[in-house]
């Protein structure tokens, strides 16, 4: 049934078996576990193995050779040693089997190409969209000039030897080269502008720390997202599509696959994007052990994606199929079925692979050490089975309560009984069920709340050798949408509506486990009393819950529509504080923030890359 769980690649870094495992057991064949994140602090020799002509030419440049201690070598190549280049023409060709149909509407556009590097991706993008202008921005233009000669010889192509992620330079370029594009930043409802397309390479290794950010690319990505809300940068011309290459590790911040990782940045992406697709990336099948969700949700979500792919006529090129895609196509009998909340929850726990292996090893060669470990694993498996049966019953009771007439004594009694049962769970089981409840809640909506579950195709699998240095990267496809008016902060707006939404979200996701009514009251005393004026919060058909206490929607599980209603209630509240008062109350509690990235994000607007 769960074919995809065998030999699963995982983010787990701890060993699956104790160090004192007998020699025979170790020799029997360890589990093949690969890391989802790269913990190496520097580029190693293994990452500098060129594959293909472009990679060999980049390697010959000598930029990535280890630096000598002390002074720079005479004649040493100057350039950004942290940059990662896309070097595989085959990868770019395969990507276009997914993107080419939707890129057709951009044919003849103005293409802004930031950090093109060796130009393999830029050349392919130019071929597909045939831009009237192709404006390349790269501070290392001289270094990459030998790679870009044929591209720059094309009509409309020009190189601006400035950094495209220094906003002063970018804004100057926009004023000079896109002067004919009308400024639509003050339009009350922005519209999509297909005559501009943006491509950015933000892939760096090792990560380049900047201020509170683990990598400058994370900060730039946040600012690109903020430009949608502020109608700044190229978003001043309308809703402009962005194709962004980023380190594979960074994609989960905006495109999480579980409620645990659905932080403020991911929610803002849901507010501001019609879609956010992972076009390609590293194939990691199992999330870290603290970030799991019910496999039945993953399977049901995956089959919905396969349905959308069939309708769009999309099929991954051979060799680009992810493990998820392969396992889904191997069990077609489950397609179209309601699985999550029907089948007993199943988590891809790391010890399951160990249990299977130890069972086989003990059968082949029984030893006291193996027997001791086997007993512990079987004990854990039995308790996990019992817990999951309880979780399923609670989820099904919750759904049954949603269908009962509200306001009746029977409903109130059943609601209270359900909450008592949840509160009666042991500590670890309670935490696990709350996570399972919220994962189930954001998925089981007419349109799943998380962008990952809205995807129209499975990502293509990339290989490290398709980049130089050999560090796998991901391509994200952003299509901005017209945001709720109270979440926007266009130029000249003195109401501070968008700024207030931003400050409120910062507090909200710092208290993400609170029930929504409590989180509302935390925004400003008394505001929680307006919970009932936000109808979607209590409506299961709109992603809400009519239950109270343990059954109420918690802060991290709300959707974009519900946030819009909360903002409207706040704006219409007679006791609404001023923007200055709100900032003074909420920003003081920075130390309460659960997500360090959000604290760093707050400083992004003051960084040196801002104009």
For 277-298, how does the pLDDT look when each residue is reduced to its tens digit (9 = 90+)? 999 999 975 555 556 789 999 9
Q: How much is the pLDDT for 291?
A: 61
Output the CA–CA distances (angstroms, integers) from residue 477 to 215, 272, 377, 575, in the order listed: 20, 13, 42, 41
Q: State the pLDDT at residue 372.
A: 84
CATH number at residue 227: 3.40.50.150
Are 541 and 469 in a shared domain?
no
Domain contains 327: no
Domain contains 278: yes
Dump pLDDT digits (tens) for 345-399.
Answer: 988 777 777 777 887 887 888 888 888 888 888 877 787 888 899 999 999 999 9
Question: Which of 480, 512, 539 is the endpoint of a domain?
Answer: 480
Q: Are residues 567 and 470 in the same domain?
A: no
**pLDDT at 7 exceeding the cut of 60:** no
In this predicted structure, what is the pLDDT of residue 377? Answer: 80
583: nearest Cα among 520, 521, 502: 502
What whole-number distance in Å separates Cα of residue 451 and Cα of residue 353?
A: 30
Provide the mean pLDDT of the chain: 86
Residue predicted with more confidence, 586 or 109: 109
DSSP 8-class letter at 340: B
- pLDDT at residue 204 in the model: 93
Would you say residue 261 lies in a domain?
A: yes
- The pLDDT of residue 147: 96
Mean predicted confidence (pLDDT) in 107-127: 97
Which residues constitute the domain of residue 562?
494-606
- Predicted confidence at residue 374, as pLDDT, reads 81
Does any domain span residue 529? yes
Q: State percent of the chain over pLDDT 90.
A: 69
Residues 136 and 242 in one domain: yes
Report the pLDDT value the prediction gives residue 18, as an integer from 0 to 100. Answer: 37
In a domain, 433, yes or no: no
Cβ contact 472:462 at 8 Å: yes
472 and 574 belong to one structural domain: no
- Residue 29 region, left (φ>0) first, then alpha (ψ -120 to 50), else beta? left
> Of 431, 456, 480, at which residue does a domain stop?
480
Residues 597 and 469 placed together within one structural domain of the fold: no
Q: Is residue 117 part of a domain?
A: yes
Asked if 471 and 551 sit in the same domain, the reply is no
Q: What kind and span of H or E run contains 297?
A: helix 295-312
pLDDT cut 70: percent of the chain above it: 86
Q: Report the Cα 588 to chain-centroid distance in Å.
A: 28
The residue among 346 and 476 whose pLDDT is bigger is 476
Q: How far is CA 571 from the centre of its chain?
A: 30
Is 118's pLDDT higher than 70?
Answer: yes
83-101: pLDDT as tens digits: 999 999 999 999 999 999 9
Neighbours of 529 (CB within 10 A): 13
What integer pLDDT is reported at residue 597 of this predicted model?
A: 52
Residue 16: what pLDDT?
A: 32
Q: How would residue 6 be classed by pLDDT, with cut points 50, 70 and 90?
A: very low
What is the C-alpha separation between 597 and 402, in angstroms, rounded?
Answer: 36
The two tokens of residue 107 are 């044919």
Predicted confidence (pLDDT) at residue 68 exceeds the cutoff of 70: no
What pLDDT score does 71 carry? 56
- Mean pLDDT value across residues 584-592: 64
Residue 368: the pLDDT is 86
Q: Supply 513's token pair.
A: 């486990």
CA distance 78 to 76: 6
Q: Based on the fold, state whether residues 204 and 268 are members of the same structural domain.
A: yes
What pLDDT, on the 0 to 100 scale, is given for residue 148? 96
Say whether pLDDT at 605 is over 90: no
Tokens linked to 410: 């029977």
Q: Which of 480, 505, 525 delimits the end of a domain?
A: 480
Distances (CA, A) of 557 to 441, 442, 444, 514: 7, 6, 11, 10
Shared-domain flag, residues 218 and 138: yes
Residue 117 confidence (pLDDT) = 96
User: Are 265 and 254 contacting, i.e. CB atoms less than 8 angstroms apart?
Assistant: yes
pLDDT at 265: 94
> Do residue 92 and residue 184 come from a single domain?
yes
Please write down the HEC assignment for all residues of 191-219.
CEEEEEEEEEEECECCCCCECCECCHHHH
Shared domain for 475 and 530, answered yes or no, is: no
Q: How many Cβ atoms sit within 10 Å of the Cβ of residue 44?
A: 11
Cβ neighbours of residue 500 under 8 Å, at least 6 residues apart? 486, 567, 570, 579, 582
Residue 61 belongs to some domain of the structure: no
How far is 428 from 424, CA to CA, in rounded Å? 11
The answer to whether 120 and 96 are in contact (CB under 8 A) is no
Q: Please give the residue that has the higher pLDDT: either 250 or 56.
A: 56
Confidence of residue 600 (pLDDT cuts 50, 70, 90): very low
Q: How many CB atoms lie within 10 A of CB 270?
A: 19
The verdict on residue 150 lying in a domain is: yes
More confident residue, 138 or 592: 138
pLDDT for 198: 98
Cβ contacts of residue 450 below 8 Å, gap of 6+?
256, 257, 259, 262, 266, 270, 442, 443
Q: Tell me: do 599 and 561 sit in the same domain.
A: yes
User: Could you tell me the two tokens for 20?
Assistant: 């004192």
pLDDT per residue over 501-547, tens digit each?
Answer: 999 999 999 999 999 999 999 999 999 999 999 999 999 999 999 99
Segment 254-275, tens digit of pLDDT: 999 999 999 999 999 999 999 9
Are 219 and 134 in the same domain?
yes
Number of domains in the chain: 2
């Amino acid at each position: 049934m769960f074919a995809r769980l065998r030999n699963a690649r995982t983010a787990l870094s701890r060993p699956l078996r104790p160090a004192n495992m007998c020699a025979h057991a170790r020799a029997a064949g360890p589990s093949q576990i690969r890391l989802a994140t790269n913990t190496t602090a520097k580029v190693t020799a293994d990452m500098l193995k060129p594959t293909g002509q472009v990679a060999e030419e980049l390697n010959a440049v000598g930029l990535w050779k280890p630096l000598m201690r002390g002074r720079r070598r005479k004649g040493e190549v100057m350039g950004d040693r942290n940059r990662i280049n896309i070097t595989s023409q085959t990868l770019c060709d395969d990507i276009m089997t997914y993107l080419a149909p939707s890129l057709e509407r951009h044919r003849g556009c103005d293409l802004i190409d930031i950090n093109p590097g060796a130009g393999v991706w830029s050349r392919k993008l130019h071929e597909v969209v045939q831009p009237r202008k192709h404006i390349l921005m790269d501070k290392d233009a001289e270094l990459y000039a030998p790679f870009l000669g044929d591209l720059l010889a094309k009509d409309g192509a020009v190189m601006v030897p400035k950094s495209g992620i220094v906003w002063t330079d970018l804004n100057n370029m926009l004023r000079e080269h896109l002067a004919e594009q009308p400024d639509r930043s003050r339009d009350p409802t922005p519209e999509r502008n297909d005559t501009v397309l943006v491509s950015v390479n933000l892939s760096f290794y090792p990560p380049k720390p900047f201020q509170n950010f683990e990598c400058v690319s994370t900060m730039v990505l946040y600012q690109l997202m903020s430009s949608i809300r502020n109608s700044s940068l190229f978003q001043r011309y309308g809703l402009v599509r962005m194709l962004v290459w980023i380190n594979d590790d960074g994609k989960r911040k905006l495109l999480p696959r579980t409620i645990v990782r659905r932080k403020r940045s991911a929610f803002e992406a849901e507010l501001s994007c019609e879609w956010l697709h992972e076009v390609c990336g590293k194939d990691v099948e199992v999330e870290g052990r603290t970030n799991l969700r019910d496999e039945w949700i993953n399977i049901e979500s995956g089959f919905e994606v396969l349905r959308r792919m069939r309708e769009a006529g999309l099929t991954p090129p051979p060799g680009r199929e992810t493990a998820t895609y392969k396992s889904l196509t191997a069990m077609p009998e489950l397609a179209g079925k309601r699985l999550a909340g029907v089948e007993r929850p199943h988590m891809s726990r790391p010890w399951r692979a160990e249990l299977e292996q130890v069972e086989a090893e003990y059968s082949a060669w029984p030893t006291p050490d193996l027997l001791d470990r086997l007993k512990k694993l079987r004990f854990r498996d039995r308790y996990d089975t019992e817990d999951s049966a309880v979780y399923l019953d609670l989820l099904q009771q919750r759904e049954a309560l949603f269908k009962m007439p509200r306001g009746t004594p029977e409903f109130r009694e059943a609601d209270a009984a359900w909450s008592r049962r949840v509160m009666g769970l042991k500590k670890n089981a309670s935490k696990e069920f709350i996570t399972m409840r919220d994962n189930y809640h954001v998925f089981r909506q007419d349109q799943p709340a998380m962008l990952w579950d809205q995807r129209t195709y499975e990502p293509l699998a990339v290989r490290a050798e398709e980049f130089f240095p050999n560090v796998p990267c991901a391509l994200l496809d952003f299509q901005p949408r017209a945001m709720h008016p109270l979440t926007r902060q266009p130029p000249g707006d003195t109401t501070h509506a968008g700024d207030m939404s931003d400050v409120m979200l910062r507090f909200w996701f710092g208290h993400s486990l609170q029930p929504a009514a409590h989180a509302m009251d935390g925004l400003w005393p008394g505001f929680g009393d307006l919970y009932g004026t936000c109808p979607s919060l209590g409506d299961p058909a709109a992603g809400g819950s009519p239950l109270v206490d343990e059954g109420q929607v918690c802060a991290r599980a709300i959707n974009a529509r519900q946030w819009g209603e909360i903002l409207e209630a706040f704006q219409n509240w007679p006791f609404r504080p001023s923007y200055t008062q709100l900032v003074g109350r909420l920003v003081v509690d920075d130390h309460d923030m659960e997500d360090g990235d959000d604290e760093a994000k707050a400083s992004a607007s003051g960084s040196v890359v801002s104009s």
